[in-house]
Structure 1
Amino acid sequence: MKKTILYKTLFFCWTILALTGCDLDLQKNYDYEPSVDDPYVKVTAWEYFQDHKDMFSELIAAIEYTGLKDYYTQTDNKYTFLALDNTAMQNFRNNECSGVATITECDASKVTDLLLYHIVDGEYSSYGQLQVDPMFVLTMLKGENGLMTMSVWKNPWQAAVGKILVNQTGSNGKSPQRQAKTSNILPTNGVIHIFENYCKYSK
């Protein structure tokens, strides 16, 4: 008996809710207007890093430590900056300068080579300059250790399309492949791609 009363009460409440919904207007058509984030940040690469210190505090310290700040502040030449976030810088410290707590405790020449390898002469983004096939680019690190390839990642997963790959597997000796976390940021002096791990050349 109690179950029957409960069922009748629930049915009555459900009917009232269903009937009150009948007074609502029909949903209006909605015309979707697609938009794309503006990749132009209207500041230099250095200013961009300063505006995002929570992500680039170690990179900023490394740039100041090595005296390479001019690359990031100048506006006469266009460079592609492979920006290493704090995770990438920590990976570098752990692998290349074991036992140190900050990047400024690493050997200055190692940090200099790291930064020079992550500055590419010219603008390379997925807005036409890079293709799916890897191409060699000129880093500021001279000699064999400066060899690098860049390409655009071709992937059926839409969110990954347009991401930048450095040293795609098999394209540059045994260099580890790295994929940008964020690609195609356009400061006034080039292009920024953000990485969570550092890039390096290996024979």
Structure 2
Amino acid sequence: MKRIKNITIWGLLSITLVLTSCDLDLQERFVFEPDVDLSDPFGELTAWQFFNLPAVNALNDEGGLVGDHFNYMRAAIEAAGMIDEYNTSNNGRTFLMLNNNAFTGNGDVIALVTGSADVEDGETPAEVMARADVDVLRIILNYHIIDTYITQNNPLAEFGVNYEFQTLIPGEAGKIVLRRDDRLRVDINRTPAPLPSTATGGGNNERIRNYNYVFNNGIGHSINDPVRNQPYPSPN
């Protein structure tokens, strides 16, 4: 008798739930709208146009692009007469973008192209690059343009594997090696690599700082120091 009573109670509860649930409105379909803009902010620009943006072509972080400023890079491209290489319609390139830090340190670009890392007070990047050995500057910039479009996992499909590419410098002197780890960090010319010790030793290798600046003529990654395969010539 007790069991019959329990079944009756559960039956009544079930009927009540069914009847009351009929009065509930159907929930609207949920549409996820991310707050983060996942589009490429520079996708309509060439690399050269990117280097001319006010927030990029600056000496400090007032423009909001913390740590990655390229006004020395812009001045170097102009002084070397290489605007066309960064403004080309060829979208299959990777630009290793030398930020200001890559120019101003000891042994960095300013020292490599002028013979001294000293910059006078008030001297603009354009004035510094006006003192540069243009031939050496062109070699440096050409080595930092790779003729393959490279993201962190394409064609760097496997981590811990050396992938060899060609820069705009022809032949063996233009070889460059990229390798990523399991956290998608990418190193350039790190040992062990199928390159001479002049490329991999003595601080000449580098880890990419910021990734995937997508342009309409390629992709860019910023680095804090220049890299090389062979020693750059001394400036005249």
Matched, 1:93 2:110: yes
Q: Give me the whole-angstrom Cα distance separating, in 2, the residues matched to 1:64 and 1:79.
A: 19
Q: Determine the structure 1 residue equivalent to 2:180.
A: 152
Q: Determine the structure 1 residue equivalent to 2:218.
A: 190
Provide Cα deviations, 1:118-176, integer angstroms capped at 9, x if missing partner. 0000201114222321111010012332121112233xxxxxx2232211222022213
Helix, strand or coil at the partner of 1:53: coil
Which structure dedicates a bigger proportion of its chain to helix?
1
Using the TM superposition, give the Cα deviation of residue 41 of structure 1 relative to its aligned residue in structure 2, in angstroms: 2.1
Helix, strand or coil at the partner of 1:105: coil
Structure 1 runs (4+) greater than 4 angstroms displaced = 33-37
TM alignment of 1:51-70, pairs within 5 A: 51=53, 52-54=56-58, 55-70=69-84
Identity %: 22
TM-score by length of 1: 0.73
Using the TM superposition, give the Cα deviation of residue 74 of structure 1 relative to its aligned residue in structure 2, in angstroms: 1.6
The correspondence for 1:164, drawn from 186, 191, 202, is 186
TM alignment of 1:1-203, pairs within 5 A: 37-39=38-40, 41-42=42-43, 43-51=45-53, 52-54=56-58, 55-90=69-104, 91-95=108-112, 97-99=114-116, 101=119, 102-131=128-157, 132=159, 133-154=161-182, 161-171=183-193, 172-174=195-197, 175=199, 176-202=204-230
TM-score by length of 2: 0.63
Please list every run of 5 or more consecutive structure 2 residues that lacks an aligned counterpart in the other structure. 1-31, 59-68, 120-127, 232-236
What amino acid is aligned across from residue 210 of structure 2 in structure 1? T
Please list every run of 5 or more consecutive structure 1 residues that lacks an aligned counterpart in the other structure. 1-30, 155-160
Q: Determine the structure 2 residue equivalent to 1:158.
A: none
Aligned length: 166
What amino acid is aligned across from residue 179 of structure 1 in structure 2? R
Q: Give me the whole-angstrom Cα distance separating, in 2, the residues matched to 1:95 and 1:110.
A: 8
Helix, strand or coil at the partner of 2:130: helix
Does the 8 Å CA contact 2:205/2:228 hold for their aligned counterparts? Answer: no
**RMSD of aligned alpha carbons:** 2.3
